[in-house]
Amino acid sequence: MRTLRFLGKEALHLITAPETILLMLLFPVVLTWVLGTAFSSTNGHVIDLPEVKVPIVSEDGMLSDIFIANGQESGITFEETEQAEVNRRVDAGTLKQYVELKDKNLILHSDDKGSLEAMLVKMYANAFVKQANLSFLAVKEGKFDQATPRFKSFARVEGIDGLNEPDSFGYYGITMLTMIMMYGSMQAMSLLDLEKSTRTALRLKASPYPMNQVFFVKTVTASVIILLQALVLILINHFVYGIDYRNIGMVMLMLIPLAIFVTSLGVSSYQVMRKASAASVFLNLITFALVFMGGGYSKLPSDNGLFDTLYRISPIGWINEGLFTYIYQGKTDAVLSGSLKLLGLGLAMLLIAYVLFRREEGSDLVAAN
C-alpha cells in the first residue's frame, strides 16, 4: 500500500508539470505533421507523378487508336486535337508540347525537352515504335503469333525487396515516437533529483520506508509514464494522421525495453554526474546523437558505410528498425534482437545507478538500515 501511494505521488509530480504535456505530447504531434508533410514527396518508393496530358495530332486509323489506348494504360492521356487548334495554342503560348503521328512518323514537339512529361512521352513513344515495328516485321514474315504482346501488363514500380515500406507520415510516426521516449530520460532523472531539490530526502531516510524501494518506485514510475505518453502519442497519430501501427498492443510491448533503457539512462547519468544540470546537458546531447544515428530526423543513406554503421550501433536505430520491420513487413526478428540489446544495456545501467544510489544514500546510515 505504501508503495502504491509512493507510485501515485511520483506520477503526480510528472503529470501535473505543464512541460510534460507540452514537450511530451504536443511537440511530437506537431513535428510528425510538419516532417510528414515536408518530406511526403521523398519518402517511400512511390513517386507521385503529375498527370500527363498531351495533345496529339494524328491521322485516323488503327495505329493512332492503338497508340492512344496504350498510352492511357501507361498513364499518359493523349487528347486528339486538330492541327489548327494546336497551332493556335502554340501561338498563344499556352501549349508547350504535343505529339504528331502522321505517315508513320511519330514526332514529339516540345519546348521543354528535359521536363518529366516530355521524358515520359518520349520513353513511351520509343517503346511503342519498337513494338509496332516488331509487330509489322512479324506480320510481314507471316509469323502472326509473334505479333501479339508477350507481357501480361506494363511494367510497374516496386521496392527492391518487394516489401512494404512506410510513407513519410508512417516513418515519422515511428521515429518521433522513439525520439520523444528518449527525452523521457530527463523525466527519470528529475524524479531522482526531486528529493534532493525539495530536501525531502531527509524525511524519506528518517522514515521506516526502505531506501531501495524508493529507487525502485522512481524507476518504475518513470518507465510507466514514458510508456503512457507513448501510448497517447500512438493513439493521436493513428486516429488523427491515420498512421498504421499494425497492432498497437504489440507495439506497446515492443516499447517496454526502450522505456527501461531510457529510464536507466536518465537515472545512471544523474547518479554518475551527481548534478541535475550536468546530467541534463549530457542527456540532451546523447538523445540528439542517438536519435540522429537512428534515422530519427531523416532517413540516413543506406549506401554510406559510416551512416550505416551509426544506424546499426544506435539503440534508437535498433528499435526503429524493429518497429519498421514489424509494422510494415510483419516480422519480429529485428525487434526481438533490438529489445534484447536494449534490455541488456538498460539493466546494466540500472545496476550501476542503483549501486551509486545506495552508496550515496547509505554513506552515513546506521548499519542496520
Partner 1 sequence: MLNVSKLVKRYGDILAVSDISFSVSEGEIYGLLGPNGAGKSTIINIITGLIKKDKGTVTIGGMDLDKSLNQVKYMMGIVPQDLAIYNDLTAYQNVSFFGSLYGLKGAKLKRQSMDTLALVGLEDKAKSKVKTFSGGMKRRLNIACGLVHRPKLLILDEPTVGIDPQSRNHIMESVLKLNKEGMTILYTTHYMEEAEQLCNRIAIMDTGQIVAQGNLAELRGLIEEHWFINLNVKGTPPLEALRKVAGVEQIDVSGNTLRFRCSSKNSQLRDILDVLAEHHTEILDMATQEPNLEDVFLTLTGKRLRD
| Interaction site with partner 1 (CB under 8 A) | 1-2, 5-6, 9, 12-13, 16-17, 194, 198-200, 202-209, 364-369
Question: Considering beta carbons, is residue 167 or 195 the nearer one to partner 1?
Answer: 195
> Whole-number minimum distance, CB 40 to partner 1, in Å?
41
In degrees rounded to 5, what are phi and psi of residue 81? -140, 150
Question: Considering beta carbons, is residue 197 or 284 the nearer one to partner 1?
Answer: 197
Question: Considering beta carbons, is residue 174 or 217 the nearer one to partner 1?
Answer: 217
> Whole-number minimum distance, CB 6 to partner 1, in Å?
8
> Whole-number minimum distance, CB 20 to partner 1, in Å?
11
For 195-217, give one letter per residue: b (16+ CB within 10 A) or e.
Answer: beeeeebeeebeeeeebeebbeb
> Whole-number minimum distance, CB 195 to partner 1, in Å?
9
50, amino acid identity: P
> Whole-number minimum distance, CB 8 to partner 1, in Å?
9
Beta strands in the chain (DSSP E): 52-58, 76-80, 97-102, 105-110
Q: In terms of C-beta density within 10 A (0-12 exposed, 13-18 middle, 19 or more buried), how is residue 231 classed? A: middle
Question: Considering beta carbons, is residue 62 or 368 the nearer one to partner 1?
Answer: 368
Question: Considering beta carbons, is residue 157 or 367 the nearer one to partner 1?
Answer: 367
Spatial distance between the Cα atoms of 249 and 259, rounded to a whole number of angstroms: 15
Spatial distance between the Cα atoms of 179 and 60, rounded to a whole number of angstroms: 61
> Whole-number minimum distance, CB 3 to partner 1, in Å?
10
> Whole-number minimum distance, CB 18 to partner 1, in Å?
10
Cell matching residue 199: 530536501
Sequence-distant (≥ 6) Cβ neighbours of residue 176 within 8 angstroms: 28, 31, 32, 35, 233, 296
Question: Considering beta carbons, is residue 12 or 313 the nearer one to partner 1?
Answer: 12
In degrees rounded to 5, what are phi and psi of residue 167? -80, -175
Sequence-distant (≥ 6) Cβ neighbours of residue 243 within 8 angstroms: 32, 169, 170, 173, 237
Question: Considering beta carbons, is residue 160 or 206 the nearer one to partner 1?
Answer: 206
Contact 295, 320 (CB under 8 A): yes
What are the Cα distances from residue 237, in Å, to 95, 169, 177, 347? 43, 9, 9, 30
